Chain A
């Protein structure tokens, strides 16, 4: 009998909950009992509340046992888990787990299924089909397919990817670049990290297609320094792609050249902004550039450059494989395709939920998320990272759609959802937003550099003057004026959007700022 395959994820979230110890315990127990197993370190399926998430192959398919701690391992062997034995941790067939089954996994089609650094595994699961198609198309046809798919920048700005690519294609230049923004600094987001650790070849393939489409022969992945595992996985995958001729001077014998290199960032949040990222890649302080010129025309080292987020680039292969229409058939309004949503913070069932645009926040928080982790009511939700608005319960029925969010003065950003229970003090969160902006400001423009520090002081005065109605309302007016200056006068989104969390907190949770009570005192 062939040995049973046992899967234990190598994703950092799984590792952070002890997956390495679980893997070792399983191997040791198998050795002790003289049972031959094939231990595979796969990516994560993204059910992070159940990590370490162990799977075994059976004749019906892969069966899940989770969460498995080292001390569960002897019991699992006793229960014959290698043959789908009955055990309290046995969750049945992985594909039938409703949390997964209800998702529409396009970008994350392979995450958790394959061994992330096994090229054969990638190819066996539809990998490099997109590139094969792209190699038969003209550059303009590839760009058109991306435009027709409706894909918009998943980093947060939601700019149509096809238009960006067309600008670079149409700009003459001997040297062009593809830059992948992997400086995923927004709290509540981890989908970029998951792609890089759990399915790195899909990003490599997406960047290669981008290079062929716009005529760039060099790509850089600008990776945040907080992701050492992603760095290792990417470098391993890049080396394998080079060996197999999927990267290099002559990709698959097509005559196209594309080289790829990972560059480590150095812990500056602002470098997630595309122009400051380019400055950093050039070896400078990560200070935001004035636009124009657009990076598509004068980007890295002054050359035409595509700067795309990890998820945008990792979505290219499926568009080229299955066609623009296939992708565009998902979604609502002008938000086409799927969004990998990341459930984070105070949520019971956290993890990656990839869905077509249009699902509501409530469905995500309660149907997928199962409510708060602490069991208390969810008071506020921040969508889109530290620059995203805080939403109260009355807005939980908003569908996840770029335009619908912008109607309620909120942003979808990179799809991170952080929930807070009713113990949160929103005046503290507003203060933190200013504080974070002050720490991370690049210092180039005044509204952001100075406004952030003054903003934190004004919030302190609002809190201190809860009993002084006149001074209190003066300070509230002051923070609104300051926010107006930051929104309209900042050079980039850091200063320009810090008012989103601040003002949404004040507008929706006034009681935490003493707004209701101050009024009462005045009356």
Chain B
């Protein structure tokens, strides 16, 4: 994806990554705050940032790679404009999340870890959203939606797609 960018876009990306590194590098245990800042800004963590981070924190590139890939939250590839997470944990299973997963996958035409062709929605599994009193749950962006049915999920997805 980075390869598709123009030189100007690449330079912009590099300067943004550098700014995030500079802002957080002096904090104790700076690596996770830096990775969060990068992902919050550009939506994922490109491999291109491993080298500058490793230099700033006196780590090896392999160590940075190891941390990025350890955590489910960090995306190593670009994701869609919206990330839809379906909870697969026990409480939601007890309220029919398995059926919900199947229906949502069928409607979006994608499986977990895939993005719709129009680039609008990436579907991910998640293991508990802390809303277990209102199962089954999904999270779209930063918002949790409780007592979901496939129809309601379609509604909220259609809503964000329209924006």
Contact = CB atoms under 8 A, between A and B. Distances in A.
Do the two chains bind? yes
Interface of A: 12-13, 15-17, 48-49, 51, 184-190, 192-193, 224-229, 263-269, 280-286, 301, 342-346, 350-352, 373, 382, 386, 416, 418-421, 424, 429, 432, 436, 439-440, 442
B29 A185 contact: no
A190 B131 contact: yes
Contact of A49 (B35, B63, B71, B133): B133
Given A266-B35, A280-B32, A283-B29, A440 B127 contact: yes
B66 A285 contact: yes
A187 B146 contact: no
B71 A188 contact: no
A386 B87 CA distance: 14
Nearest to B125: A439
B90 A13 contact: no
B34 to A, nearest CB: 8
Interface in B64-105: 66-67, 70-74, 89-95
Contacts, number: 149
Given A188-B91, A280-B32, A266 B133 contact: no
Contact of B130 (A189, A281, A301, A352): A189
A345 B128 CA distance: 12
Interface in B115-163: 126-135, 137, 139, 142-147
A432 B125 CA distance: 14
Contacts of B130: 12, 184, 189-190, 192-193, 224, 226-227
A346 B95 contact: yes
B36 interface: yes
Contacts of B63: 284
Interface residue tally on B, bucketed by range:
35 or more
20 contacts: A12-B144, A48-B133, A186-B128, A187-B89, A225-B36, A226-B126, A226-B129, A265-B73, A266-B73, A267-B126, A269-B127, A284-B67, A344-B91, A344-B133, A345-B94, A386-B90, A386-B127, A416-B132, A420-B94, A421-B94
B131 A386 contact: no
A282 B130 CA distance: 25
A421 B93 CA distance: 11
B144 A16 contact: yes
Given A188-B91, A226-B139, A228-B142, A266 B32 contact: yes
Interface in B27-58: 28-33, 35-36, 57
Contact of A344 (B28, B127, B135): B135
The majority secondary structure among interface residues of chain A is: mixed
A286 B63 CA distance: 12
A346 B142 CA distance: 25
Contacts of A420: 94
B89 to A, nearest CB: 3
Contact of A267 (B31, B72, B131): B72
A185 B128 contact: yes
Q: Which 8 A-B pairs have the closest CB atoms?
A: A283-B31, A187-B89, A344-B132, A266-B71, A267-B73, A48-B133, A345-B94, A16-B146
B127 A436 contact: yes
A269 B71 CA distance: 9
A385 to B, nearest CB: 8
B132 A15 contact: no
B131 A12 contact: yes
B91 A268 contact: no
Given A187-B132, A226-B126, A266-B72, A284 B31 contact: yes
Contacts of B70: 268, 285-286, 442
A228 to B, nearest CB: 4
Contact of B94 (A48, A193, A419): A419
A432 B90 contact: yes
B93 A432 contact: yes
A16 B131 contact: yes
A382 B93 CA distance: 12
A277 to B, nearest CB: 11
Contacts of A386: 89-90, 127
Nearest to B64: A283
Given A48-B134, A226-B139, A280-B32, 7 more contacts: A12-B144, A13-B133, A16-B146, A190-B133, A283-B31, A346-B94, A418-B91
B72 A16 contact: no
B146 A13 contact: yes
Contacts of B73: 225, 265-268
